[in-house]
Amino acid sequence: MKAILKDFPERIETERLYMRPCRPGDGYDVHRAILHSRDQLKEWLPFAIHEPVLENIEENIRSAYADFILKEDIRLHIYRKKDDAFIGSTGLHRINWNVPKFEIGYWIDTRHSKQGYITESVCALTDFAFDYYQAKRVEIRCDPSNLNSRRIPEKLGFILEAILRNDSISVDGKSVRDTCVFSKITK
């Protein structure tokens, strides 16, 4: 089946959260979250380097929504059930439908950090990839120095397969960084 024909549910739910595809109009919530979290995110994520501009964020979300429709990339926004507060973002990236395999990425509005929300959402998304899309492999990649990000796959039982040395350039472009590659596979 062609990727564009692959269905996706309206939302994925956990005990405290729901995740849904990003969609036009989400820019305000994402913009506000980046403004509050920029100091913590800018070392790791390119979109946080510069002061966020609402129009640019909305444009990026609309591009991501187009990628979602094509099933080339699946960006999801995370919301808390009790009050519909925007928590952060996750998704299935670097998709290879032939295997199928996915990479999960994530970031959080730091006002909601240290409450287990990202662990909860990544756990549910991992299960979803295996159950719904019959994934053979799910990866999480992160900088070894990003301890908060690294704890997520470690808590969820992902296997550290490798640390790729001098694999990427730092977000600020000033140094070379390593990359941890964590995975879960079907048996």
Question: In this predicted structure, what is the pLDDT of residue 1?
Answer: 74
Domain contains 172: no
Identify the DSSP state of 89: E
CA angle 24, 27, 33 (to 5 degrees): 145
Tokens linked to 133: 């899309």
Percent of the chain with pLDDT strictly greater than 90: 90
H-helix segments, 42-160? 54-70, 117-132, 147-155
What's the pLDDT at 115?
Answer: 97
Average pLDDT over the chain reads: 96
Contact 118, 140 (CB under 8 A): no
42: in domain? yes
Res 165 pLDDT > 90:
yes
Asked if residue 48 has pLDDT above 90, the reply is no
What CATH number is attached to the domain comprising 109? 3.40.630.30
- What is the pLDDT at residue 47? 87
Per-residue pLDDT, 133? 96
Residue 58 banded pLDDT, cuts 50, 70, 90? very high
Residue 91 lies in a domain: yes
Q: What is the dihedral of CA 143, 58, 110, 67, to 10 degrees?
A: -40
Domain that holds residue 106: 11-139
Residue 185 lies in a domain: no
> What mean pLDDT is predicted for residues 106-115?
96
Predicted TM-score of the model (pTM): 0.95
- 85 part of a folded domain: yes
pLDDT at 158 over 80: yes
| CA–CA gap between residue 37 and residue 32 (Å, rounded) | 9
**Number of domains, the chain:** 1
For the ranges 41-45, 58-62, 89-93, the lowest mean pLDDT is seen at 41-45
Residue 120 covered by a domain: yes
